[in-house]
Structure 1
Amino acid sequence: MLFIQRFNSAFAKWTQHIPVTIAPASSNVVRADIHIRFVPLGPSETVYAATSMVADGTTLSSGLINITFNDDYNWSDDRLFNFTAVHEIGHTLGLSHSKVQNAVMWPFYEGITRVIHPDDEAAVHAVYGWRNPRWTRIDANPGTRGIVQISSGSSIPSPLDGLYQLRMTGEVLWYSPNGNWLSVDKNKDTVQIAGSSGNLYQRHADGSIYRYTGSGSNWQWIGASSDNIIDIVAAADQIYTRRKDGWVARWSGSGTTWNSIEQPLLSKQIAVSDKKTLWNLLTTGEIVRSEWPYGSGWAIIDQNPENTAITVGGEEFYKLQGSSGQVVWLDMETPMWRMIEDAGSSAIYASGQYLYSYHNDGSIWRYTDTPFVWEQLDNTSNSASVIGDSRGNVWEMLKSGDILQLIS
């Protein structure tokens, strides 16, 4: 009876996320969909269990799915048993191993208690869809101009981490852990906010740039006014400006001193990796790259005039190309360009290991790490943009100004 309760609990870990009901078969059922058994597999500290199936396991209709636990192992460690049960059930649902160490579908136990990770959720949603309403409204203000998300690069969160919004009035608000929006500044001249690694910045209409001190409405002036500034980009622990004359500059970290990065180029968009590799999409469609600390010039990476946008998640680089909206990943080990979405995308956004694709019809998709397989997160025509963090949390801004958070 104890094992039945444990297995019921393990199945529930998955079924709470998907529109699938799994229950113990009654004694008069000729053939159950899933068989669980304990069979001696030999003494081993690594082979705890295995799952086998004749079909692909995604429909639960073959009746030939077997979860086999090693009966030669002493199952005295409840954490190991629970992890193994949830992990193997993931296989019966059609999931393969994950590359994310904190995910349940990570192939090794390592003595860590794991819960269903956003990577696990993305994988199982890609197969079965969703069980519950996915989005909750956390703000409804028609004056919302944009949203940004700040995540620290380390495992220790910064006090400034979180979601921020900029309103048409110039007010900057932070979404606190208790669900309230708190104002951190209100300046009518603010036209853009950006943030990364526990730092929040704002740009004024005159080009001046400020860094939030974390105290009240106190901001540090770090960039003098200039009508040459187009936008600011925060990444890793750096803040960059892109200018009308084609130059890209980086704040020195002191006063209002900015360092220009190499020769002027006709920059259209920049993106920066966690290791501060600077990627630059030019107006010609060329993509160039400069390695930290940016003293060796720009290396030409691609010369496709149809390139329209770039994004970086961690160290992974992606580009959007062509009028049909193709998403392409740079496999740096090869190195080769590999298409992962063949049509439909109009914007891409990456954070950590997660990549999102926004379509013109308002639908939002998250990459499953399998080429051409994307998980649909929303399909509203009212969507305006999507952002996420390195932990898999996702927020969406609607054209109406509403802000939604993915909750399932």
Structure 2
Amino acid sequence: MPRPDRSRSEELVEYRRIISVDVPRTFHFSECAAFGPEARKEYAANLTDVLVAAVERSAAVHYYQGLNSVAAAALLAKGKDEAQVFVDAFLRVHGAPFCAATLQETQAVLGLVARLVQLLDPSLAELVDSDPVLAQYTSALGPLMTWHTHGSESAKEASIWLKELSSRHPLAAVYVAAAEVIGQRTPLRRAMTASSMEARCAAYGLIGKRPERPAPADVLPLVDEWMARLPPRDLLLAAPDHTRRELTKVVSLWLPPASVPDIWSPATARPVVAMTDASLARDAKREWSSEELKEARARVAGSALSARALLAVERALNPSSAAPEPRSAAPGSVSKAAAVSVGLLLAIALLLVWGGAGDVSRAVGALMTRLGCQGEPDCASGKAALAYTVKAAARVWDSLSGSAAGAVGT
């Protein structure tokens, strides 16, 4: 951790000492088991060289524990020279929040995980109000800082994470961490409702001891869907003011997706390493009007996932979990939906008799908006209003039937 009372040269001496402690602990990949004495020595020397060179490259870069796993996976997958280019670019772009002079940027990114979980699954709001609990018991910080490399059994598996996340926005790891949390929603909710603090801590402790980690193929399709549904820039703009202020310091987080370089490829990573902060920030807008912030918050307000979608996340990330099968809607629930739809049609018929076409379309549009359906323009004639109301009734039927099925399946 950087200290204001130390010079840069003193910091580098301390970082070399920490690296010398971390490198012997970075033989956890299965490929390392086949190393003989000379191969182990060469691997340790190369990993040390890559880490020291990356930290010495810029006074703005500070070593953090976890970077050793990222560098080791790249070293085993790409060799020393290309691993050096990748790690240097990683610290400029995707890993920038974690190598700053203070932990404030890291804490702010972890706060984004909490906010994203809260948006996608409001039932976990009580949990995500406490960032330390989120970090300690759901392993959200590990995927963020090591890109799952520390939890991977082999460098081959870890390199898949590196390659896939390198081609995405720097905040993709936040969405991965959120998926990890939501994938554990059943044990988390069980822990939240435990009768005693001892039972609650025991339930939380089990979450960190999962027998298997999710594979990239399980998580990344969810991440891509969520990033399209709730873009990284909107997530940043909708964050609390103090979080957004801290993260404006990290230029790479504000890059539009099209401007994010694929740092896994040496051809695109090398120019990133040579970039000045000004050139990197050219496409990264970081000043926003109050109206733009308000619009972003409005866009993310309705991003919660349905009960069925949340169940699908649990199953994708926990194939052996005992999550219940979704049941079809009970007959009584469907009958209720049918009764409401018939009642709606009768009400619309009365409005057509005693009211104008515009009144009908506005009334139905307001009701559909409350039900989460998409409204349509006012109808200009009674015939158009009647066609609109029939379509509205069908949508209301679908909405109510789907809600009933989701409630029963939850």
| Fold equivalence (TM over 0.5) | no
Relative contact order, higher structure (CA 8 A, sep 6+): 2
Whichever of the two has the greater Rg, that structure is 2
Greater helix share, structure number: 2
What's the TM-score bracket when you normalise by the shorter of the two chains? under 0.3
Task: Judging by fraction of residues, say which structure has more strand.
Answer: 1
- TM-score normalised by length of structure 1: 0.22
